[in-house]
Structures are given as structure tokens and as C-alpha cells.
Structure 1
Amino acid sequence: MQNEPASLIAYCGAPPVPATLAGAWNLDPVLLAALALWAGLLLRHPGRIAGWSAWMLAVLVFVSPLCNLTSALFSARVVHHVLLTAAIVPLALAGLSARLRERLQVLGPGAAVLLHAAAMWAWHAPGPYAWALSTVPGYWLMQATLAGSAAAVWLCVLGAERGAATIAAGGTFLQMGFLGAIILFAGQPLYAPHLLTTAPWGLSALADQQLAGLVMWVLGALPYMGALLWQAARLAEDLPDPAEAAR
């Protein structure tokens, strides 16, 4: 039973210790081929800095030792999820043309927020989380549904309709903060894969979980708060000038 949590890690490798982390790069050939294909597409539009930024962050979360660290620390896994949904996805979409983003936007803001909330809350529930880490298909299903539902939100945020963008950013900001707070204040370790893997990093399983909740509550919500403030400023620009209206 002592080795059970380690056996639950299917894709990113066995939980590392500090001495082994630096050499723990993920060289999965299928993943590297997909990243190479993405880079080839980006080379056709080398001036799109946002797209390249998304690509480099994808290398960080899927290829660098951060991938292996997520096997040991739930807090590292949450950093991975935050970078995927609140940085890689919006940057990748920002690198597309406005016309293409408009064609991809098939959900309204309310549906997009609910879809993303469902994915976030489902995969951060203890049972589905442990299953996602126990099989390679489960791991990639988690990545795909988190990224896909985040894309639905960010397509609304980056769209031309300012009211819809405000709803999408505000709703996601609230649900991310609420989920992070629940994880932070749970009071007991919830995630079986990390019960025996955090000690080499100087953390108890509960302390690691609390750090994860703080990351999601604060850092995970910041991009949506920024988007919300940006949209609020854009909406304010549309309001009539009181001085002009009085004339």
C-alpha cells in the first residue's frame, strides 16, 4: 500500500525527488511531433508573438521537468492547469485572426462559463483526478477538456461583444476563486496520488494541497480579473460623456 500513490502516475513519470528532477524531461515522441507540427504552423506567421508565447509555455508544462514535478506535488499540477487554461489557451487564440476566432465561437458566454466550470470542478474532484492520473488516455482527456472548455470562455472574452466578454471573464473569475477556496480550506488531504509524494519537497500532503488552493484562488483568477477589468474599461468607453450629453 505504501507504493500505491506512485503507481497511480501514468504519464508524467514516477514522483521525483529534488535530486532527480533536473533530468526528468518528457520526450514522448507523439507529444514532440505535435509540438513540432504546431511550430511549423506558427512559422507561416512568424510575427504572431502570442502564438509563439503559447507554444513556449506548452513546452514548459508538457516537456520540461514541470511535467514530472506534477506527479509529486498537487500544487505543481494546479500550476500546470492554470498555465494551460489561463495562459496557453488565450495566447494561442490571440495568435489567430479575429475572423477565425469569430468562426470558432459557437457558445454564448453563459454556456461557456458553465462548461468550463464543469470541467474544472470535475477534474479537481478526488476520484476523477486520481483516475486521470492513472491512465494515459485519462490524462489526455483531462488536458483536452480543460483546454477546450477554457477556449470556449476565452473566445467570448476576446470577441467583439463586450457584454458577453464581461460575463465570460467575470463568471470564470468567480468559479475559479470559489474552487480554489474549497481546496485551500478543505482541512484534510483529498488527493490520494500525492499522499506519499510531497515529503521529499518539505511539504505535508495537506500543506501542498493548501498551496494548490492558494495558487488557483489567487494566481488562477488573476488573468480573468485582468480580462474583466479590461472589458469594464471598454464598456466605460462606450458610455456617453456627461458633459457632451448636457450640451
Structure 2
Amino acid sequence: MPGAWPTVIFCVAAIVASSARSHTEGTPISPHDFWTAWSLQPSVVVPIAIAALLYGRGLRLAWSRAGIGRGTAAWRAGLFSFGMIALWAGLVWPLDAIGESLFSAHMAQHIVLMGMAAPLLVLGLPIPTMIRALPRDWQRGLAHAVRWEPWRRFWGFIARIDVATVLQLLVFTLWHIPAAIALSLENDFVHSLMHGSILAAGLVFWTAILRMRSDEFGLAILALFVNFKFSLILGALLAFSSRVFYESYLDRGLPWGVTLLEDQQLAGILMMVVQSMMYLLALVIRVALLLRSPDSRVATTLTPQPGGLAR
């Protein structure tokens, strides 16, 4: 079955959860408000908590029957935990609230969601583990839904490495157009759509990269390289430009002691250094795995085999 459910479940959760704080109420926060600016609304915390509880129960069921590390490897459980922490940091931690005041914080939030939470969650093999925690009838229903032919075709298309790469680049570019940033600061729905689509695009991209076939190695390397260069070039444009692009943040960063241009330059540095290095690291790991064993491949089957849904 196609590895669709990581995208289905986590994208829905992300769209709900990313309605973190109201961006239309009150004024942007200042440094002394930092530790009181947690996004603890139920729409944020509940989906993340449900995902964590389902994963934990599924893990306990698997390990209590077959032994620790069986069914879901311990290293996958660890990566899933780090992915959930990254998701929490991007949507609940005050980083989201600071994004109202600083464009650099907004950029950092996007990097956390797309470049950290997404690959860690994909590697954590969440869906088969969570499905174990569901009633048997639900498991069978999910198995039937996944086999629906229109969905299989749709997923087979968007999970292609070339399509997933273009999709991620388009989503990231769209949401960093100055007008889109300004609208996200004024409209809660647009803000939610922004973070939901960024996480969704990241999940699709990393699913395609981490589940590549052996004959797609070159394409995966090219995709990672393109994202690396894109982040490097766009980050450099923001970091070294003397022109202010995001005037919607005018005066918002003054309580933090930074000018509009300095804030934009910091965002560019984050993108140029942190985000580009994430893709470079993934590229290096891929090449190292190939050199270690020409037939090596990170096995990241994201859906259980037929018959593995019902316990």
C-alpha cells in the first residue's frame, strides 16, 4: 500500500494545530512576554497529544508482545519522539508567538516544521504504530480506504521525487512572498493554511526521498541538491540585500532591539545556513550510505503490509 497515511493524518493535524495563536488579537509580543506566550489552546495541544498517545499505545502493544525493538525499531521510536518535540516547538512553544514580532522567528518556525519535524516524523514510522492502538474494525476500515484506487493514483503521483520537490519549492516560495506574509499576520485562517501546507509539503517531500527506489538514487540526490541551492540562494538574497522586502513587520521588532532590515537579514542567515545545511546533511548521508553498500537503502515503509492492520 502506498505510504499515504503519514501525510493524511499529520497534515490534517497540522492544519488544525497550526491555528496556534490569534494573529489578529492584541499586539505583537515583546521580550518580557516570552515565557507567557505559549500556544496552549486545545486546537493546538489536543491533536499533538492524541498522536503521541496513539503512538505510545501502539508501541507498548508491539513491544509487550514481541519484545523491545520488534514491530517498530527503537531508533524509529526515538526519531518520532524528536519529531513530536520539533512539532511542539514549532506550534506550541513561544516561537509561533514571536513570529508576530520578528520575521526571523517566522522563518525559524518554517525551518523547524519543514526541515526538522517532517523528516523525523516520516522516519519514525508513525502510522503502522498508531494503527496498532486502534480497534480492529477501524484498522480494517483504514486498510480498505488506503486501497481506494483514485487515492492510490493521486498518492503515487505526488509522492514522486520530482513532483514532491517541485511542490515543496512552490509552497515555500509562495508563503515567502511579502504579500502572503502580510496576509498571514492579519488573517488567522491564512496563518493556519500557511503552516499546514508547509508541513504537508515537507512530509510529502521527505516521504519521497526516504522511500526512494534503488533506481531513483540519482533523482533523490538531485532533489536534495536543488533544495540546498535554493535555500542558499534565497537566504543569501535576504541576508545581503539592503532593501527591505517585508514591510508588514515595520516597527514590530523594535521591542526586540532590531530594525526591519536586521530582522530580514537574520532570517536570511537562518535560511542560508541552517536550512541549506539540513539538505546538505541529508545529501551527504545518502551518498555515504551508497558508498558503504551500493545496494543499501534506508527502509522507511510507512504503511503496514496487508494483514498488518488488524491485530
Report the TM range for the smaller structure's normalisation: 0.7 to 0.9
2:285 maps to 1:230? yes
Q: What amino acid is the match of 1:45?
A: L
Q: What amino acid is the match of 2:109?
A: H
Alignment of 1:1-247 (within 5 A): 10=23, 14-43=27-56, 44-45=58-59, 47=74, 48-96=77-125, 106-161=158-213, 162-237=217-292
1:94 shift after superposition: 0.5
CA RMSD of aligned residues (A): 2.4
Q: What amino acid is the match of 1:174?
A: K
Match of 2:67 in 1: none
Q: Distance in 1 between matches of 2:25 and 2:232?
A: 27
TM-score normalised per structure 1: 0.85
1:61 shift after superposition: 1.7
Query: How many aligned positions are there?
Result: 230
The question of whether the paired residues in 2 share the 8 Å contact of 1:189 and 1:195 is answered with no
Gaps of 5+ in 1: 1-8, 241-247
1:96 shift after superposition: 0.9
Distance 1:98-1:16 versus aligned 2 partners, 3 A rule: closer
Q: Alpha-carbon deviations, 1:191-212, whole Å to 9, x = none? A: 1331111111111110010000
The question of whether the paired residues in 2 share the 8 Å contact of 1:153 and 1:169 is answered with no
Q: What amino acid is the match of 1:29?
A: P
Gaps of 5+ in 2: 1-21, 61-73, 130-151, 296-311
TM-score normalised per structure 2: 0.68
Q: Secondary structure at the match of 1:14?
A: coil
Identity of aligned residues (%): 27
Distance 1:11-1:119 versus aligned 2 partners, 3 A rule: farther
